[in-house]
Amino acid sequence: MGFKKMLVAVDGYEPSMGAFKKAIELAKDYQSQVVVLQVEEEVPLLPTEKMMEAVEKPITEEPLELAKAYADLMGVSVKIVKKVGPVAGAILATAKEENVDLILLGDSGRKGFQKLYFGSVAQAVTENADRPVLVIKKGWVDVSDLVELAARIVEKPEAIEIPVYDPRAVRENFIFSGTLFFVLTCLYFFAAIITSKPFKDIAALEIAGLPFGIWSGLILVVSGIILTRIYLTRQGGVS
């Protein structure tokens, strides 16, 4: 007997994410469709209630995002559904709407006073469902890969831009860079020739209180700085 369509409810905590992982495994075996449901309760818990309920930290605050990412990795197509309201009622209603063959839930493992105070979604769904319900016990499924994936999603590394090879841009850049290099080379050789022995008389000519040879060197240095800045500005390195 296989399952054509399954519903799994997630809340980001280990039990429900274990149930989700089991749903993905079954979907691969039976080529099933998976509906992933997250239900937000209409009445938020008080801080003291949250402390009592959250005996452990959730694997993720975004269970649907994690579920979609994991399903994509496993090659399983999932339908994402998010509802607001009583959790057990929303699960039962979605199961009917989607006409699933199986409901998967994680058992929170609550016992004693916590189970009495908060109730048990798994118990309520199991008692009222008109179709099979598979409850995954806490710790039964290894969710270490989901934990690792959740951490990677939180990090959200910036997309790495891969430069695109553009022959036209490369040619234009080569011509531009070559022109600047040619101008700087000409200035360099001009300064070198002027300060050489055959042109020592020209280099000695005084202009504004300095020999022409000194002016040639200063012009070469300033020109080198200007050309470098022009090149960097063109490349976007300096505004």
**Predicted confidence band of residue 204 (pLDDT cuts 50, 70, 90):** confident
Evaluate if residue 37 carries a pLDDT over 70: yes
92-103 b/e with 16+ CB inside 10 Å = b? bebbeebebbbb
Q: Which two tokens stand for residue 154?
A: 């939180």
In tens, the pLDDT along 60-77 reads: 989 999 999 999 999 998
Task: Give the DSSP letter of residue 199.
Answer: G
Give the global pTM. 0.59
pLDDT attached to residue 118: 46
What integer pLDDT is reported at residue 211 of this predicted model? 86
What whole-number percentage of the chain has pLDDT above 90? Answer: 34
Beta strands in the chain (DSSP E): 5-9, 33-40, 78-84, 102-106, 133-136, 206-207, 210-211
Instruction: Dump pLDDT digits (tens) for 108-130.
Output: 655 544 454 445 788 888 889 99
When pLDDT is cut at 50, 70 and 90, the band that residue 222 belongs to is: confident
Q: Which residues of 58-79 are buried (b: 16+ CB within 10 A; e: fewer)?
A: bbbeebbbbbbbbbeeeebebe
Looking at residue 24, its pLDDT comes to 95
Tracing tokens 């979907």 back to the chain, one arrives at 27
For residue 79, give the nearest of 125, 30, 38, 39 by alpha carbon: 38
Sheet with 102-106, strands from edge to edge, namely 78-84, 33-40, 5-9, 102-106, 133-136
Mean pLDDT of the chain: 82
- pLDDT tens sequence across 16-33: 999 999 999 999 999 999
